[in-house]
Amino acid sequence: MMNQPFDALQSLLAAPELWRPGALAWIAAGWVTALAAIAVHRRWGSRAPSIGREGWTAAASSPNASKTGAGTREDGAAGPSGPASSPARSRLRCCRAVVAATAVAGLLALGFVSPVGPLAEGVLFSAHMLQHLILLLAIPLVLWTLIGAVVHAHDPGSPRGGIGSTAGRTTRFEAGSGTGCAPGCATARRDDARAGPARPGALRRTLALPLVGGVLGVGAMWFWHDPAACNAALRHGAVAALRDLSLVLAGLAFWYPVLVRDARLRLAPPMAVAYLMVACAGCTALGIAITFASGAVCPAFGIAPTPAALEPLRAAGFSRSVDQQLGGLLMWVPPCLLYASVSLLLLRRWYAAHGDARPAAADGAAQTAGAFGRSSGAAASAFGIASSEIIR
Amino acid sequence: MSSGAGSMHSRSRGAGAEPHARIEPHGLALEDRRGVLSWFSTVDHKRIGLLYILTAGIFLLVGGAEALVIRLQLARPGAAIVSPEVYNQLFTMHGTTMVFLVGMPILVGFANYLVPLMIGASDVAFPRLNALAWWMLPAGGILLHMSILLGSAPDAGWFAYAPLSTKPYSSLPGVDCWIAGLLVLGIGSVAAAINIVATVLCRRAPGMSMQRIPLFVWMVFITAILTILAIPALNAALAMLFVDRTLGAAFFEPARGGSAVLWQHFFWIFGHPEVYILALPAFGMISEIIPVHSRKPIYGYEFVAGSTVAIGLLSFGVWAHHMFAVGLGSGVDIFFAIGSLLIAIPTGIKIFNWTATMWGGSIRFTTAMCFAVAFLVQFVLGGLSGVAFAAVPLDWQLTDTYFVVAHFHYVLFGGTLFALFAAIYHWFPKMTGRMLDERLGQWHFWLTLVGFNLTFFVQHLLGLMGMPRRVYTYDDQPGWALLNGISSAGSFLLGFATLILVWNVLRSLRRGAIAGPNPWGAFTLEWATSSPPPPENFTALPPIRSRRPAWDLEHPERADFLTQRTAEDRGTRPEAAPVAAWSFIASEIMFFVLLLAAFVVFTSGDGGAAAGRDSLDVPRTVLFTGVLVASSVTFGFALRALCRGAGARARRWLLATLLLGAIFLGNQALEWTGLLRAGVLPERDLFAACFFTVTGFHGLHVLGGLIAIGILLWLARGNDLPPRRAAVPHAVGLYWHFVDVVWIVVFAVIYLGLPRGLG
């Protein structure tokens, strides 16, 4: 009796009709293509600047870029962070791309080849929700972190805003300004902070607005759980494809302000934590609504016939309402845990960033950057003090 | 010796400060007045902090006395010292007092006193708001205790579960007083929290980057954010209960379609973060005290700070572990159990950090340090029993027994209160200029330690034996009389020990040894000024180049910044007014989201409550929604005119905003009277109750916005704003736009019935 649900789950996973080897072939083909593209890029790609690198490359050649040479990257991958054309960097990028392609292929296989795929099509609401999480959170995160826009704690240029600019207007001690005119109009400073060599394009600047990413990321979740949209996606394959694509794109937009490589576009860590917290509130609200809803959120899930392999699970008490509850909780808890984990990572980087927070004109930071550039994170530096600084 | 501050400072405050050295940016002259009356009008954060601590101390004695009567009643089986009714009132008042009138205010008091000193500021961001927040405390306390004069103290438990707290089951005014008192206290807490957030963000001294603030400041900052987001959940629940009790609605009465479980959800959405609101500042105190008395820097500053953020995030996602016994379904239980277990990780990280800080240190076992070490042990015990409760089957077995009582007293007494005692011994010299007597302190510590563990450890056993909490007496089961006797004896030992502290404080105020600026060799900025600090806090600030500026000052050859680099200060500080406006808006969003969530809950499902929507006039409301949105546009024009220095034009636009807002309110009043005439009353059905509650509170917010705009008009009467008020219009604008956005959401949810289908 005790193991009944687990046995039922086992028999569900073992059911051959719920696996899709055909889809696996597609994903494998996609994976091979991606690897081929990477190989091609590696062979010839270093000649032409790749898309989305201009901002970083330009910034790296700015005068205060010397700091980055001394710094180890804080993202866990070893290796020097020189200009984009260096061989070591290229190899690293390639290696990351392989990992990313493999991870994305694996996630897609989990979402569409394993029983999750067939069950998400009108049978189990929770399986459908798992698919959402993969498309909206996991795949975009993998793409951004591994190939697109890795965060560098020692990136040149200061992160925009900073905790100081909560409301966009700040007082600077040196300038003694901020009390002249009504500060609501002092918007020029923010643009100053972002201005520099090769100012990012309008699209990238728009995407970097937290409101855009937040509304797209959280809005996609909300929109596709409107009963009408949810039902339509189940009835028409085209709408389903549109939904899946839109979820990936919304996910990419959502993570952009947090993970974009160009430090001038990236949210400062405390702001990024606040951004993720708001997103957590957004999916919590939806999660609560679905978990505690009394009726069916997506009625079309009641229509499809139950596959035979699912019967034991249903018999073990996994009714439609429990299924919907589980779906709501999946929408609610795992994203928030992911946001919390990313927040902690961001805070670690925030504390590890030593000299770069100064305005570019500051000279003191550059002098001492070498000494502490090698700090490998909070634990090591804290241990260093503890062992060397015991009083008496 | 106590005036040695002047010699220690090496850098003046910054250019331009000299001519107005004693006039603060907020425009209040610093006061140095004496006498009892000056305490009533004070806006000095140090005095307000002391007032908080003093008020909370008085309530601590009241709440402690209530606990002693409870223990006296339970000392032996079948005692009849108090009647069952009085017993219910006693434990309700004890819980409410200790949480709202002792725990929160005393922590806010320490934060008030220490945060500006620790970040090198001369005062909090909003001194007058600070004074107001303190005045709400005695006001709330009086409202709460007024119930005794009205016939009955509240007796529905500190979480006032519905339907027990609704009119049919608690007809006496006790619960009404409880609601009113808690609303006042809650608003005061949010005001204090907004002030702390603005102070930490906006008033840090040059050099004090966010990565360098002392851990106490960091934890108080996170606590303030938690307070801002958690209290509105309680306020929403209280408002609904108040509407239930006074206007006859049935939000929480299942017999008339309401939901008693909804009260539990709302209460614990507040209640669980509240645990961390009470615990995090205590963690912060421990993080300051243990390093100083171990004579070592804190081990892993970043981990302690980061884990605090994790606790803050997780604390909002685990409230339902208080409701395992309600029957939410096993799926929900499992997720909340996992979330609750996860919180043990960041909390455990802190314990390890504190232990590692002591490791290899040159520890001085002062009374403060003794309390801090006892905190560590007892908090671990309380935390472990808490993790045990995350296991649903164990929770089902032990819920509502004395095991729960033992658990949360180990967290809140063995944890928070021990940290507070440590803080009193640690910072008393700074606050008064005199040391507390160490010999009396040791007596206080050991008696408290023994008394506390005698009182509460045996309650674990009683709980495991099945003794229910909140029952005025018990049967003479084997062992129960003995264990309860031990518990009661221990509680009186505790009471006696607390009197020793009171005596120690009174005696040391007059005869304590003179402390000097830094008696402990401590590290943070508050020790780099005289004890007690002058009204302006610092005559001149030392340079801030690391996390331990006072250490750097006294040991220049071994200064932190020589060996360890921390993020430099970028020198930017946000304006305080928009920060406060955003914080307030965040709080208000929580409030309205919960009110609207209640509406969605009641109108979804069987759909009975949704029928009331027919009585609303949607087209007319569309029109007046447009009026309200237009007022946002006119406000935007007013701001633009102000920016361009066109004062007269700005005032005209402000006047237009005022008029449009008034038109909207007038229409709301007409709609209300029409509905009331048609017999649509809150007591008719849940739709009407929700409608009047939500639109009523929104109307109040519009009214508040109109008053703010009126004040703005008055401020700008000379066609121009004084420079130091320059951020105010922007802050008011944020609030006004927020009120409009809320209305659009209210309109969509209540009038149009969106989101569809969540039923």
> Are B715 and B725 a contacting pair, CB within 8 Å?
yes
Residue B579: CB atoms within 10 A of its CB come to 23
- Provide mean pLDDT across the span B352-375: 96
pLDDT digits (tens, 9 = 90+) for B481-508: 999 999 999 999 999 999 999 999 999 9
Calculated CA dihedral for residues A134, A135, A136, A142, nearest 10 degrees: 70
- Provide mean pLDDT across the span B318-327: 91
DSSP 8-state symbol, B528: G
> What is the ipTM score, two decimals?
0.84
Residue B655's region, left for phi above 0, alpha for psi from -120 to 50, else beta, is alpha
Element (H, E) at B574: strand B572-574
Q: Pull the structure tokens for residue B199.
A: 């102070």
Interface of A with B in 250-289 (CB under 8 A): 270, 273, 277, 280, 284-285, 288-289
Q: Chain A: residue nearest B310 by CA?
A: A340
pLDDT digits (tens, 9 = 90+) for B44-55: 999 999 999 999
Strand partners, B574: A170
> Are B154 and B93 a contacting pair, CB within 8 Å?
yes
Q: Show Cβ contacts of residue B706 under 8 Å, excluding neighbours closer than 6 positions.
A: B658, B661, B662, B665
d(CA A134, CA B189) in angstroms, rounded, equals: 41
Length of chain B: 759
Predicted local confidence at residue A59, as pLDDT? 34
- DSSP string for residues in A50-78: PTT-HHHHHHHTSGGGHHHHHPPPTTS--
Contacts of A289 in chain B (CB under 8 A): 600, 755, 758
CA B641 to chain centre: 39
> Are B678 and B691 a contacting pair, CB within 8 Å?
no
Q: Show Cβ contacts of residue B637 under 8 Å, excluding neighbours closer than 6 positions.
A: B653
d(CA B235, CA B253) in angstroms, rounded, equals: 18
- Supply the pTM of this predicted model: 0.86
SS3 call for A115: coil
- Provide mean pLDDT across the span B568-594: 92
DSSP 8-state symbol, B97: I
- Provide mean pLDDT across the span B60-85: 95
Predicted local confidence at residue A76, as pLDDT? 35
Is the pLDDT at B339 greater than 70? The verdict is yes
DSSP 8-state symbol, B290: H
**Taking the CA of residue B346 as centre, how many other CA atoms within 13 Å lie in the half-sphere pointing to its CB?**
24
Strand partners, B514: B434
Question: Which residue of A215, A222, A338, A344 to mutate against B (max B Cβ within 10 Å)?
Answer: A344
Residues B144, B431, B580, A153, CA torsion sign: negative
d(CA B575, CA A261) in angstroms, rounded, equals: 29
d(CA B307, CA B343) in angstroms, rounded, equals: 9
Contacts of A332 in chain B (CB under 8 A): 317, 335
Q: Which residue has the tokens 């671990």?
A: B380
Predicted local confidence at residue B720, as pLDDT? 67
Predicted local confidence at residue A204, as pLDDT? 83
- Residue A11: is it exposed, middle or buried by C-beta count within 10 angstroms (0-12/13-18/19+)? middle
Contacts of B302 in chain A (CB under 8 A): 347-348, 351-352, 378-379, 382
The average confidence (pLDDT) of chain B is 90
Give the nearest partner residue to B571 out of A173, A289, A292, using CB atoms. A173
Q: Pull the structure tokens for residue B759.
A: 């039923």
SS3 call for B401: strand
Q: Which one has a higher pLDDT value, A120 or B631?
A: B631
- Provide mean pLDDT across the span B126-140: 96
d(CA B651, CA B638) in angstroms, rounded, equals: 7
Predicted local confidence at residue B606, as pLDDT? 57
Please give chain A's pLDDT, 392 residues, in tens: 445 777 777 888 877 777 877 777 888 888 888 888 777 766 665 443 333 333 333 333 333 333 333 333 333 333 334 444 456 666 666 777 788 888 888 888 888 888 888 888 888 889 999 999 999 999 998 888 776 644 443 344 444 444 433 334 454 444 333 333 444 454 434 444 444 456 778 888 888 888 888 899 988 988 888 888 888 888 888 999 999 999 999 999 999 999 887 778 888 888 999 999 999 888 888 888 888 877 778 888 877 777 787 888 888 778 888 888 899 899 888 898 899 999 998 998 888 876 544 333 333 333 333 333 333 333 333 333 333 332 22
Contacts of B309 in chain A (CB under 8 A): 273, 343-344, 347
Q: Does A334 touch chain B (CB under 8 A)?
A: no
Q: Does B31 touch chain A (CB under 8 A)?
A: no
> Are B338 and B412 a contacting pair, CB within 8 Å?
no
DSSP 8-state symbol, B748: I
Buried b (16+ CB within 10 A) or exposed e, B594-619: bbbbbbbbbbbeeeebbebeeebeee
> Are B105 and B52 a contacting pair, CB within 8 Å?
yes
Contact B601 A295 (CB under 8 A): no
Beta strands, E only, B175-320: none
Using only C-alpha atoms, what is the Rg of chain B?
Answer: 27
SS3 call for B83: coil
Give the nearest partner residue to A382 out of B299, B639, B726, using CB atoms. B299
Predicted local confidence at residue A98, as pLDDT? 81
SS3 call for A267: strand
Buried b (16+ CB within 10 A) or exposed e, B308-333: bbbbbbbbbbbbbbbbbeeebeebbb
Contacts of A172 in chain B (CB under 8 A): 571-573
CA distances from A243 to A224, A231, A304 (A): 7, 12, 20
Q: Which of B280, B120, B109, B271 is nearest to B195 (CA)?
A: B109
Residue B534's region, left for phi above 0, alpha for psi from -120 to 50, else beta, is beta
Is the pLDDT at B412 greater than 70? The verdict is yes
d(CA B584, CA B129) in angstroms, rounded, equals: 13
d(CA B180, CA B171) in angstroms, rounded, equals: 16
pLDDT digits (tens, 9 = 90+) for B135-179: 999 999 999 999 999 888 999 999 999 899 999 999 889 999 999
pLDDT digits (tens, 9 = 90+) for B8-19: 333 333 333 333
Give the nearest partner residue to B574 out of A169, A351, A390, using CB atoms. A169
Q: Does A390 touch chain B (CB under 8 A)?
A: yes
